[in-house]
Amino acid sequence: MKRTLTGLLMGTMFTGLLMGAGSISATAQETVTINGVEAQRVIIAPPKNDLARSIKAGLSNAYTNSTKGSRAYQDAQKIYFFYGARNFEPLWLSQNDSGTIVFSDNALKILDVFEQSYLDGLRPADYLTAEISLSGNFTDPERLAALETAFSAAAVRYAQHAIGGRINPRQVSSEFYQKPNRIDGGEFLLKLANSDAPDQLLRDMSPNHSQFLALKAALASRYQDQGEIEKPVTISNGELLKPGMSDPRVPDLRKRLGLSAIENATIYDDELVAAVEQFQKETDLFVDGVVGPATVAALNGGGFATREDLIANMERWRWMPRDLGEFHVFVNIPEYRLRVMNGDEVTHTTRVVVGKRQFMTPVFSDEIEHVVVNPFWNVPASITRAEIGPQVAKNPGYLAANNMELLSGGRVINASNVDWSTNSINNFRVRQRPGRNNALGSVKFLFPNAHAIYLHDTPSKSLFSRSQRAYSHGCIRVQNPMDFADALLVNDENLSKRTLEAQYGRSERWNNLSTKVPVHLAYFTLRVEDDGTIRSFGDVYGHNERLKNLLNS
C-alpha cells in the first residue's frame, strides 16, 4: 500500500521533531497591528525555483488532504508553515546544473555523521532509514517532500539520542529517577538549517564528561581491532580458595594473573597468593589472598569489556546532567565507592555500603544541604512494619532495649502502655535516639528528596572490609564519615570536621551548608583509569544487563 506523506512523517518521528511547535510556528509569523490591536499573521513566502515549488506542492497536499483538527492535520500544518517561512527551500536537497536532485553539501556532512554514529555508541540504522534515499520518482512532489522531511526527522532523532540516549531510564528500572536532556526539535532544526557546520553541531550533542570520552575512545579501539579483543581466561566459581589448598582452578588463575604454568600444579602456593593479593589491592578488594566470589567476579571482569558493555555505560552517561558541578560528590553504586570531585580531580575517595538487591539504592542527582550530628534515625515505615512491628508485638520492651522511641502525633509514648492486641505498629512512628548504637552513627549528610535517601555513618564498620557491599535498606553508609566531611566542607566558611566533632553528644544538631554541593548517585559498571585501563564492576542490580538487552532490541 502506498504510504502518504502524512503517514511517512508520523512514521519517521517527525512528531517528535515538532516538540517545540511554538518555535516553529513563530518562524512563520509576524506581529502586526490592525486597528490598534496586535495580531499574529502567518507568513508563507513564495517558492523561488522548481525544487521549492515541488516541496510546496507535496507539503500542501499533505496539509489539505488531512482531516481538519486531527493530529495529522496539525503536524502537516506546522511543517507547511516551517518551510513556508523559508520560501519552501529544502534544507537537505538541491538540484545540480543538469536538473538532477542531489543531497546538499550540509546533508552530505550529516550523512557522514549518521554513518559514523556507531563510534558514538549509536546505531546508523536508526538514522539511515529507507526513506532517506535518492532512488525513486522525483517528479512526484510528495516523494520530494517526504524525503526532505524524513531527513529532518533523522537529524533531530540523532540529536535527541546523542544528548539524552536511546532508552528511557525508567524502562531499565523504576529506581532510575534521572531526567535526560530533551531538545526542542523545531529550534534545533533551525540551528541546523543556519549552521555552516551541521555535522559538528550534531557531534557536539554528545556528553563531554571525561569518562564518556574515555569510553568512546575504548569503543573506537574495539572497532579498530576488527572484532572483540581476546577475552581473558574465565575463572569458574567454587568454594573459597585459601592459601595452601588444592583446587583445579589454580592453572587458570596462574594464566589469568600472568604467571608461568606449572605442569599438574593445583596447589594455591605462595607465588600465586602474592599475585592474587596484588590484584585485590589494585582493584580495591579486601586484601586477604582468599579467592572468593568477589575476587572471581573481578578477575572475570577486570580488563575486559565488550562493545555492548561500553555502549551501555555510554548510554547511562547520556542520562547524567550535562553539568555535574565543578565541585561535587559522585557515588558509583556498582563500585561501592564515593568520590569528592573538583573538576576531574579526585580530592577524596572512600568505600560505601549500598542497598541490598531488594532495597536498591535509587539513581538520581540532588544537592547536599545539611549535615546532622548525633542524628535521630526516623525508621522508615516499611522497616517499622516488616521488622520492628513483629518484635514489639512479642516484647514491648524491644524499643527501649534498642534505644528507640514510639511516637503518636509527635508525642513520645511508652510502648508497654499500648495494647498491641488491638493496635497496629502502622499507627505509630518509630525513631532511634542519638547514641553509640544508632543505625546512622554519629553523622548524616542530607540532600532532601522524595526517596528518603541520604549518606550516613554506621556502627557496622565490619561491612566496609567486604568486597561486595550491598547490605543497606537503600541509604548509603560512608566509611570514615568525618574524613568525608572534611573533604566535603573544604569550601564552607562556617563548617569543618573540627566544628562537627565539637558537637558530639546526645542532642541532635543540624548544620546548613553555606553552599549546596551537587551529589550524584550513579550506576556505572565500567570506569576508565587515567592510564586507559578499564575496570569492571559487578552488575549488582542487573541494570546493565537489562539495558544491553534494550539497546540490542
**C-alpha cell, 316:** 547511562
Whether 492 and 513 have beta carbons less than 8 Å apart is answered as yes
Measured CA to CA, the distance from residue 15 to residue 267 in angstroms comes to 66
Q: Which pLDDT does position 42 carry in this prediction?
A: 62
Instruction: Give the model confidence (pLDDT) of 400-419 as tens digits.
Output: 999 999 999 889 999 888 98
Half-sphere CA count of 49, side-chain side, radius 13 A? 10
Instruction: Give the model confidence (pLDDT) of 27-82 as tens digits.
Output: 455 554 555 666 556 678 888 888 888 888 888 887 788 888 887 787 778 778 88
Measured CA to CA, the distance from residue 74 to residue 59 in angstroms comes to 12
**C-alpha cell, 39:** 495580531
Measured CA to CA, the distance from residue 389 to residue 488 in angstroms comes to 37
Instruction: Give the model confidence (pLDDT) of 380-389 as tens digits.
Output: 888 999 999 9
Cβ atoms < 10 Å from Cβ of 75: 22
- R_g of the chain, CA atoms, integer Å: 30
Res. 479 pLDDT band, cuts 50 70 90? very high
Res. 320 pLDDT band, cuts 50 70 90? very high
Residues 6+ apart with CB under 8 A from 537: 301, 332, 334, 335, 524, 525, 526, 527
Measured CA to CA, the distance from residue 220 to residue 229 in angstroms comes to 12
Measured CA to CA, the distance from residue 85 to residue 189 in angstroms comes to 13
DSSP secondary structure letter of residue 533: P
Q: Which pLDDT does position 13 carry in this prediction?
A: 39
Residues 6+ apart with CB under 8 A from 385: 425, 426
Q: Which pLDDT does position 405 carry in this prediction?
A: 93
Cβ atoms < 10 Å from Cβ of 161: 22
Q: Where are the alpha helices (DSSP H) in 444-542?
A: 481-488, 497-501
Residues 6+ apart with CB under 8 A from 430: 379, 384, 388, 399, 404, 405, 406, 407
CATH class of domain segment(s) 323-552: mainly beta
Whether 523 and 320 have beta carbons less than 8 Å apart is answered as no
Q: What's the whole-model pTM score? A: 0.83
**So where are the chain's domains?**
5-203, 250-301, 323-552
Closest CA to 475 of 362, 310, 332: 362
Give how far Cα 377 sits from Cα of 97, 335, 430, 474, Å: 78, 26, 9, 14
Complete DSSP assignment for 227-294: SPPPPPPPPPP-S-B-TT-B-TTHHHHHHHTTPPP-TT--B--HHHHHHHHHHHHHTT---SS-B-HH
Q: Which pLDDT does position 37 carry in this prediction?
A: 62
DSSP secondary structure letter of residue 363: B
Q: Which pLDDT does position 7 carry in this prediction?
A: 45
311-328 per-residue burial string, b: 16 or more CB within 10 A, e: under 16 = bbbbbbbbbbbeebbebb
Measured CA to CA, the distance from residue 524 to residue 498 in angstroms comes to 34
Backbone angles phi, psi at 39, to 5 degrees: -145, 160
Q: Which pLDDT does position 283 carry in this prediction?
A: 79
Measured CA to CA, the distance from residue 247 to residue 454 in angstroms comes to 43
How many H helices and E strands in the chain?
21, 19
* Measured torsion, CA atoms of residues 248, 250, 253, 257, in degrees rounded to the nearest 10: -160
Least confident of 8-17, 195-204, 359-368, 485-494: 8-17
Report percent pLDDT > 70 for the chain: 90
Least confident of 129-138, 427-436, 440-449: 129-138
Mean pLDDT of the chain: 87
372-389 per-residue burial string, b: 16 or more CB within 10 A, e: under 16 = bbbbbbebbeeebeeebb
Q: Which pLDDT does position 39 carry in this prediction?
A: 54
Q: Which pLDDT does position 302 carry in this prediction?
A: 52
